[in-house]
C-alpha cells in the first residue's frame, strides 16, 4: 500500500466497533472486526526508526528490521520461514521514516500463531553474527536496486535538497558504506533502547475479536518491560534548491517539491483535495496540460509525503532531456497559478476530487492489510482511530473558501522553499542546470512578492 495514501488518514469503511486496550506493560492494542471475512491482518508498529539514528548510524533501524527475521532463541530462520509459508498468508516487515512495522495477513485459524511468532521475533531474536553479516550483504544488493532506479534517485535527491542535514532527508537503508560499518552490538543496543512497550502498537483487523487479541498479545509480549525517552519532535527545517543526478538513461525523471505541514495538521484534508486537483488523476490539471494538450510526458502525478515532523507536495514524472525545461515550466505554471489563486478551484473540481478521494479510500480498506495499516498508523499519529462520520464530515465540509485559505497559506508559502531534483542524462552543472536555476529563482520568489 502506498505509504503516502494511508498517511492521508481519511480512509473510510463500514461502521465497525473499534476498541483500544493498554496492556499492563504499556503496549496499546487496537482492533477492528470486519464481518464476513476469514482472514486477519496483524500489525506490530514500533515508534522507532531512522528518526532515532545518529548520523553515523544511518541504516541501522532498517538493519534491525532485517535482523529480527534471522532466528530467535526458540525458532531458527528456517522454522520462521516455514511457518510464514504454511500459514497460507504472508508476514514481513518494513522501515518507514517515522517508524518500523512488522505485519502478517493470515487465515483466521493462524491468528494466535502469527501474534506469538511476531512477539518471539521482537523479544527473542538472537541475531546470529554470521547471518547478520550475510544480511548486510543482502541489504547492499537492495541499495543497488535503488541506486539504479531514476525515480528513487530523484526522490532521494528531493529530500536531501528540501531537508538538508535532517534525519528525514536520509535514505532509510543508508548507503552500502553505512551498512558495512554497523555491528551486531549496534543492532542489539538499538532494539534494547527503542523497542520498549510504550513505543509499540499492536493492531488487528478482519476476523478478530478484541478480548481474544488482547489475551494473545499479553501472552506473546508479557516479558517485554521498560520505557524509552520521547524523541524530539520539532518541525523539520526546509531549504530548497536545484539538484541534478546524472544517470545514463533515455529519459529524465523530475521531482518538484515544496514543504507542507505534518500529517496531523488541521489542513490535511484540504491539502489532499488541492493536490488531487493539481495532479491526482486523468482529469487533473497537470495531466491535462502536460500529456493531453502538449504530449510532453507519458505520466505525471502529484502526491504528498506525510510524516510526523513535516511533509511535502511532490510532483513526479518522466520526459525526454530536450523537453525537460519546457515540462518544468508548464508544471510551475500550473502550480503557481493555483498557489496565487489565479486559477481558482471551481465547484466541479471540488466535487470530482471529493468523490475520487472518498472512493479510493473505500476501495483501499476493502483489503484487510490496508485496513490494519490504516488502523495502526492512525493510532500512531493521532492516538486513536478517526471515526468514519468525522472523516466524512471533514471531506464533505470542504468549501472553495477553505481551499483558497489553505492554498494561500501553505501552498504559496511553500514556494519559498521550492525544490527541483532531476535524475537523467543531463550534466549536473551544464546549461540545463542553469536554466532550472533561473526558473527556481523566478518561481521561489513568488511567495515573498505575493
pTM, two decimals, is 0.91
pLDDT tier, 4 (very low <50, low <70, confident <90, very high otherwise): very low
Question: What is the tally of helices (H) and strands (E) in the chain?
Answer: 19, 11
Q: What is the mean pLDDT of residues 83-110?
A: 89
pLDDT tier, 8 (very low <50, low <70, confident <90, very high otherwise): very low
Residue 16: the pLDDT is 60
Sheet order of strands, 28-33 included: 19-22, 28-33, 200-206, 39-46, 100-107, 90-95
- Are 220 and 387 spatial neighbours (Cβ–Cβ below 8 Å)? no
Pick the CATH number of 241-449 from 3.30.830.10, 1.10.1200.10, 3.40.50.720, 3.50.50.60: 3.30.830.10
The whole-chain average pLDDT of the chain stands at 92
CA distances from 246 to 143, 150, 314, 367, 442 (A): 18, 10, 20, 39, 24
Residues with Cβ within 8 Å of 293's Cβ and at least 6 positions away in sequence, in order, are none
Residues with Cβ within 8 Å of 233's Cβ and at least 6 positions away in sequence, in order, are 308, 309
Sign of CA dihedral 384, 47, 2, 97: positive
Sign of CA dihedral 164, 318, 4, 407: positive
Q: What is the mean pLDDT of residues 249-262?
A: 97
Which residue has cell 532494539? 191
pLDDT tier, 387 (very low <50, low <70, confident <90, very high otherwise): confident
The C-alpha atoms of residue 43 and residue 84 are separated, in whole angstroms, by: 15
pLDDT tens-place string over residues 278-308: 999 899 999 999 999 999 999 999 999 999 9
Return the closest-CA partner of residue 167 out of 233, 241, 252.
Answer: 233
Q: Give yes or no on whether 3-221 and 241-449 have one common fold.
A: yes
What is the DSSP secondary structure assignment for residue 280, as one 8-state letter? S
Say yes or no to pLDDT of 15 above 70: no
For the chain, which residues make up each domain, given as ranges? 3-221, 241-449
| Alpha-carbon torsion angle 290, 301, 170, 409, nearest 10 | 90
Q: What is the mean pLDDT of residues 173-201?
A: 96
Say yes or no to pLDDT of 139 above 90: yes
SS3 assignment for 182-251: CCHHHHHHHHHHHCCHHHEEEEEEECCCHHHHHHHHHHHHCCCCCCCCCCCCCCCCCCCEEEEEECCCCC
Residue 7: the pLDDT is 42
What pairs with residue 245 in β-bridges? 423
C-alpha cell read off for 301: 502525478
Residue 229: the pLDDT is 84
Say yes or no to pLDDT of 194 above 90: yes
Ranking 165-179, 359-373, 391-405 by mean pLDDT, the lowest is 359-373
The C-alpha atoms of residue 418 and residue 391 are separated, in whole angstroms, by: 31
Residue 389: the pLDDT is 75
pLDDT tens-place string over residues 26-42: 999 999 999 999 999 99
For residue 432, the Cα-to-chain-centroid distance in whole angstroms is: 31
pLDDT tier, 160 (very low <50, low <70, confident <90, very high otherwise): very high
CA distances from 234 to 2, 167, 215, 291, 308 (A): 25, 12, 37, 40, 10
Return the closest-CA partner of residue 160 out of 257, 40, 278, 63.
Answer: 257
Q: What is the mean pLDDT of residues 187-213?
A: 97
The C-alpha atoms of residue 428 and residue 127 are separated, in whole angstroms, by: 42
Give the gyration radius of the chain's Cα atoms.
23
Give me the CATH code for the 3-221 domain, please.
Answer: 3.30.830.10
SS3 assignment for 55-74: HHHCCHHHHHHHHCCCEECC
Residue 360: the pLDDT is 84
What is the DSSP secondary structure assignment for residue 281, as one 8-state letter? S
The C-alpha atoms of residue 156 and residue 161 are separated, in whole angstroms, by: 9
The C-alpha atoms of residue 70 and residue 19 are separated, in whole angstroms, by: 33
More confident residue, 430 or 276: 276
Return the closest-CA partner of residue 101 out of 303, 380, 383.
Answer: 380
3-state secondary structure of 257: strand
pLDDT tier, 123 (very low <50, low <70, confident <90, very high otherwise): very high
Backbone angles phi, psi at 367, to 5 degrees: -100, 125
Amino acid at each position: 500500500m502506498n505509504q503516502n495514501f494511508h498517511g492521508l488518514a481519511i480512509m473510510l469503511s463500514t461502521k465497525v466497533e473499534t476498541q483500544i486496550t493498554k496492556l499492563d506493560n504499556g503496549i496499546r492494542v487496537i482492533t477492528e472486526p470486519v464481518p464476513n471475512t476469514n482472514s486477519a491482518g496483524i500489525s506490530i508498529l514500533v515508534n522507532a526508526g531512522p528518526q532515532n539514528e545518529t548520523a553515523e548510524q544511518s541504516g541501522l533501524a532498517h538493519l534491525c528490521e532485517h535482523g529480527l527475521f534471522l532466528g530467535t532463541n526458540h525458532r531458527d530462520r528456517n522454522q520462521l520461514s516455514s511457518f510464514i509459508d504454511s500459514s497460507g498468508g504472508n508476514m514481513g516487515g518494513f522501515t518507514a521514516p517515522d517508524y518500523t512495522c512488522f505485519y502478517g495477513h493470515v487465515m483466521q485459524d493462524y491468528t494466535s500463531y502469527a501474534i506469538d511468532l511476531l512477539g518471539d521475533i521482537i523479544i527473542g531474536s538472537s541475531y546470529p553474527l554470521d547471518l547478520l553479516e550475510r544480511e548486510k550483504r543482502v541489504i547492499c544488493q537492495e541499495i543497488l536496486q535503488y541506486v539504479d532506479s531514476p525515480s528513487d534517485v530523484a526522490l532521494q535527491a528531493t529530500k536531501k535538497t528540501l531537508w538538508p542535514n535532517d534525519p528525514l532527508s536520509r535514505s532509510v537503508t543508508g548507503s552500502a558504506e553505512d551498512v558495512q560499518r554497523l555491528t551486531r552490538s549496534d543492532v542489539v543496543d538499538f532494539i534494547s533502547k527503542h523497542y520498549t512497550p510504550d513505543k509499540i502498537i499492536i493492531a488487528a483487523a478482519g476476523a478478530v475479536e478484541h478480548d481474544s487479541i488482547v489475551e494473545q498479545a499479553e501472552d506473546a509480549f508479557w516479558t517485554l518491560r521498560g520505557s524509552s525517552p520521547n524523541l524530539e519532535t520539532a518541525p523539520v527545517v526546509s531549504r530548497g534548491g536545484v539538484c541534478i543526478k546524472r544517470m545514463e538513461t533515455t529519459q529524465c525523471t523530475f521531482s518538484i517539491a515544496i514543504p507542507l505541514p505534518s500529517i496531523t495538521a488541521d489542513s490535511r484534508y484540504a491539502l489532499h483535495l488541492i493536490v488531487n486537483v493539481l495532479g491526482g488523476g486523468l482529469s487533473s490539471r497537470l495531466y491535462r496540460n502536460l500529456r493531453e494538450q502538449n504530449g510532453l510526458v507519458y505520466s505525471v502525478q502529484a502526491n504528498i509525503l506525510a510524516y510526523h515532523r513535516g511533509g511535502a507536495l511532490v510532483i513526479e514524472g518522466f520526459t525526454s532531456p530536450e523537453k525537460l525545461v519546457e515540462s518544468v515550466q508548464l508544471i510551475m505554471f500550473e502550480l503557481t497559478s493555483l498557489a496565487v489563486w489565479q486559477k481558482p478551484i471551481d465547484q466541479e473540481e471540488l466535487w470530482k476530487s471529493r468523490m475520487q478521494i472518498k472512493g479510493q479510500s473505500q476501495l483501499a480498506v476493502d483489503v484487510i492489510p490496508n485496513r490494519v495499516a490504516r488502523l495502526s498508523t492512525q493510532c500512531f499519529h493521532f492516538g486513536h482511530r478517526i471515526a468514519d462520520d468525522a472523516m466524512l464530515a471533514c471531506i464533505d465540509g470542504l468549501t472553495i473558501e477553505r481551499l483558497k485559505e489553505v492554498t494561500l497559506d501553505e501552498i504559496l508559502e511553500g514556494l519559498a522553499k521550492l525544490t527541483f531534483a532531476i535524475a537523467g542524462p543531463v550534466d549536473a552543472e551544464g546549461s540545463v542546470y542553469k536554466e532550472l536555476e533561473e526558473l527556481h529563482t523566478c518561481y521561489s520568489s513568488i511567495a515573498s512578492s505575493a
